Amino acid sequence: MKNKVLSLLLLSALNIITGCSDFLDEKSDTMLSTPETLEDNQALLDRTYNVTANNSISGEISSDDIYILDSDYNTLSNEFEKRLYTWQPDHVSNNDENDWGSCYRRINVCNTVLFNIDHYKIAGAENLKGQALALRAAIYLEAAQIYSPVYNKGTASSDLGLPLRLSPDMNIASVRTSVENTYKQILKDLHEAVDLLPEKQVSVIRPSKVTALGYLSRVYLYMGDYGNSLKYGAKALEYNGTLMDFNTLNPLDSYPVKSMNPEVLLHTYMVYSPLLSSSIAKIPKELYDSYSSNDLRKSIYFRMNTNQDVLFKGNYGGNSSRMTCMAIDEIYLGTAESYARLGDVDNAMKLLNGLLIKRWKTETFVPFVVNGKDEALTLIAKERRKELLFRGLRWADLKRYNRDGAHITLTRTVANKVYTLPPNDPRYAIAIPEDIIKMTGIPQNPR
């Protein structure tokens, strides 16, 4: 199977490079299989390295959930990540391997499968097509949080979004569209995927209907469309509202939260970065101290080193991999926030307390009671950060919170020099790799 998948990928790459629609009709080597069957194309998506692995790290490095010591900073060999960590305006991506390239490689696999379904008129491919659409949308959403400004209804039609590549043909020129059109494409893919996907898949490496609904809720939350975020989040929870009880986990295990646990809807994870490793990336003490002593996440998520620095053990991967999975807990929090934004504080708190009772020691949790919408939103934001730590979401949250007036300023000190990132700074849209700008001629993000 491994050799077959590699052959399929090779042929797909050749098809893309030539841009010739009938290339795969030629079978000059009978040892190779062309990806013209349902099984072949499912194999392309199922090879996790192609699509669901190597998710972006730029937002995580740039966010306020981690810091590194000067001694560790000086040992890092990747100058690009060091510049990213200090919010430099340019040259923050290695030309060989970077988040931009990773996103578009993964998008291209989805485009190849969608092309093959149509070109070979593959029968019974509704589920497969839904998977490819949902995955493409998820990756475009991921890239938009890094390389585009936050969605702002008043400026989205003019703000620079992403090049929307919807075909595997590499001869088509890349052109940056608007943020508005970027989000329209993401929503179009997800809405179509919802109608094609089954409620459950054989594995969480394949997106399901609930996965697509979860992403719809996330997209609308990022857009500030809380009515639709609530609609699709609540619908997802109708299908699957299962939460783990952290009381059943053993905090003494190296990685207490196992991979493929009941909350995971789509199993994805970040590419490895030394800067984000469990020994170098430190957790701010004030964030660690915000967890109650009865909050099981405090012992399950964290450990101390010999210097009493707070380190993050891991989350939903069963190991030290940094997971970016779409999961039920995120949908609880997004739906709770949407309820609160719309003034339904009672339902917002019902969802939040329903999540937290599964995270605290048995019989110690007292449900939170708030006085009004603003207090509910403050509490939900605090718990969102604590629950979804190292899930690749904080950077997008900072962008939208500041859009809505949170006035969050980030600061870091390296070798006694203070670096600052003010609210709504243009650097929240991270610089596109310079070689891409040179190669394609697309405009760079404003600095």
Please provide residue 303's backbone torsions phi and psi, each rounded to the nearest 5 degrees.
-145, 165
Q: Answer whether residue 297 is part of any domain.
A: no
Residue 117 CA to residue 98 CA, distance in Å, equals 29
282 assigned to some structural domain: no
* Amino acid found at 416: N
Q: Residue ranges of the chain with pLDDT lower than 50?
A: 1-31
Residue 281: its H or E element:
none
Q: Position of tokens 């893309």? A: 16
CATH of the domain at 207: 1.25.40.390
Question: Furthest-apart CA pair in the chain: how many Å?
Answer: 72
In a domain, 270, yes or no: no
The whole-number pLDDT of residue 33 equals 61
Give the pLDDT of residue 282.
97
Q: 425 is in which domain, residue-wise?
A: 2-249+322-440
Please write the tens of the pLDDT for every residue from 272-325: 999 999 899 999 999 999 999 999 999 999 999 999 999 998 878 887 788 999
In a domain, 256, yes or no: no
Residue type, 375: E
The HSE-up count of residue 66 (CA atoms within 13 Å, CB side) is: 32
Residue 278 lies in a domain: no
How far, in Å, CA of 288 to CA of 291, rounded? 6
pLDDT for the residue 318: 81
Q: Is residue 274 assigned to a domain?
A: no
In a domain, 185, yes or no: yes
Residue 361 CB: number of other CB atoms within 10 A? 14
Q: Is 384 helix (H, G, I), strand (E, B) or coil?
A: helix
Helices first, then strands: H and E counts in the chain: 18, 8
Alpha-carbon distance of 170 to 14, in angstroms, equals: 10
Chain segment 345-378, per-residue pLDDT in tens: 999 999 999 999 999 999 999 999 999 999 999 9
Q: Where are the alpha helices (DSSP H) in 19-57?
A: 38-46, 48-51
**The pair of three-digit structure tokens given for residue 152, joined into one six-digit string:** 């702002």
How many domains does the structure of the chain reveal? 1
Q: What is the pLDDT of residue 289?
A: 98
d(CA 13, CA 35): 11
**Is residue 384 included in any domain, yes or no?**
yes
